[in-house]
Amino acid sequence: MSSSPAAVAPSNRRIRWWPAVVIFVVAVGAIAGVRARGDAAFQARNLTTGGILLGATVGLLLWWTFFSRAPVRLRRGVTLGVLGLFGAGAAMFRVRGVSGDFVPIIAYRWAKAAPPSGAVVVPAAAVAPAPSRLAARPDFPQFLGPDRTAVLSGPRLEADWAAHPPQIMWRMKVGAGWSGFVVVGDRALTQEQDEGQELVTCYDVGTGRLLWSHRDAARYDNPIGGIGPRATPTVVGNQVFTLGSTGRLNALELATGKAQWTRDLVAETGAKIPDWGYAGSPLVLEGRVIVSAGGKAKQSLLAFRADTGERLWAAGDAEAGYGSPFAATLAGRRQILAYNHRRITAHDAADGTVLWEYPWGVGYPHVAVPVVVGANRVVFSAGYGVGSELLEVTRGEGERWVAERVWRSLKLKAKFANPVVRDGFVYGLDDGMFTCLDLKDGAPQWKEGRHGHGQGLLVGDLFLLMAEGGELILLRPTPAGPGELHRFRVFSAKTWNPIALAGDVLLVRNDQEAVALRVALAAPPAPAAR
């Protein structure tokens, strides 16, 4: 008995390859087009590239499973194998945050963050002890230094690291978070996470020994932003002011860590916790603690008495951003500048009255503080394709204030690191690449070196840059070029935290470790001959 031809499955059907070729060619072309968009934010290009790769992978899997015409057993075997690999990968690995350019950081699922500890794992004995300089060492009492500008007039650093390399004084595990250190006398303070508690920790500068810690029941966790507090403490006199990632504002005693007063910004203003957590470091000005809360009903920016925590004023109606409040005198008026959601707001420093506002950004976070460059001029910069603008602030009739753009540049997009100005030129990280603009018109001078989204300080004519990958880089930037001098490896993991320099001690950390480095100081100049 013979079977009809229709009853016999054909055995000579060839695999249909052309859909796979089309998917591959379209994906490659799309990725090439995305990567060629030079002025687009680097992180946006990475996100788009990732989306294209994901779409192409799904498309190829669907083609192979349903439309390739490969033998059934082969199709099932390959498809199940690919899905099994994805499942095994998901079971073994997790995404432990992303880089500043949104590249996923992969870690084993069973790897746990180390709890904070004051134990020094690289002993101070590894460094030849230097004479005590506590009396002469300048303080670094707040975010970005004494003036909150990332610019230090001293000390003079030794530029020859080949002959005088940095020396590690101590290294230790710390809790997660993106807070930086502050240094007052022999005390170094930062903020960390320990399981379900946020910590304010105080260490001995010379040894890394834990002196005290203050704990609050709070935890912020975001798959992209990571775990832990974002802000950096502020020290004034014998008081330490801290803002936790969930909006808890503390005043602590510097000597002991004992709580003096606490305010909950979310509870008392009706604000919502920003998507990436509260990140603005408290500003202390003339006995007032000023924080960006983003509260409802004219409670965007708040001021409290430093000694008692009593609320003094509240003003503005903008949602909170991620930058730290900044005090500046513009056009003769003392003002508090605040990055808010989609706008810059300037408040009168005395009573919080909103003086002027300026539309800003595209809805993504703003972090870098403003850079005042004249009696009535200020530079703002942000990442995510926003760029930089020089604004001129003037006062009209009565209380009418005007902020007008002088120039705009897409060649400096500061995401985390704060730009600095020296001798008429602006230096900073443009989407992770070190760059220089002419302050007069924003014209780019150069852009070199992919350092990622790290942090830096301008010390005299030298720039200390902690790259995102954990490498400390010493530069002497000029309008002619970045002037890279030396590199020193400190970490081998993502490093976003601001750095602190107090005399010859440089304190650096990330969300896993902290290190104290002794950096050589330059010999004082010889007295002029008479």
**pLDDT digits over 43-102, tens only?**
778 878 888 999 999 999 999 999 899 998 998 898 899 888 888 888 888 777 777 776
Cβ atoms 231, 324 nearer than 8 A: yes
What whole-number percentage of the chain has pLDDT above 90? 69
- Cα 133–454–499 angle (5° rounding)? 15
**pTM of the predicted model, to two decimals?**
0.87
**Phi (first) and psi of residue 158, to 5 degrees:** -75, 125
Question: What are 291's strand-pairing partners?
Answer: 302
The sign of the dihedral angle between the CA atoms of 382, 385, 387, 392 is: negative
- Output the pLDDT for position 125: 43
More confident residue, 38 or 267: 267
In three-state secondary structure terms, 121 is coil
**Lowest mean pLDDT, pick from 6-20, 317-331, 337-351, 482-496:** 6-20
As to burial, measured by CB atoms within 10 angstroms (0-12 exposed, 13-18 middle, 19+ buried), residue 133 is middle
Give the model confidence (pLDDT) of 398-454 as tens digits.
Answer: 778 999 999 999 999 998 899 999 999 999 999 999 999 999 999 999 999 889 999
What pLDDT is attached to residue 116?
A: 61
Model confidence at 132, pLDDT cuts 50, 70, 90, reads very low
Listed in sequence order, the residues at least 6 apart from 1 whose beta carbon sits closer than 8 Å to its beta carbon are: none
pLDDT given at position 364 = 78
Tokens representing 8 are: 């016999």
N residues, the chain: 530
> In angstroms, rounded to a whole number, what is the distance separating the alpha carbons of residues 412 and 410?
6
* Ordered alpha helix ranges (H), 16-114: 18-35, 42-62, 72-92
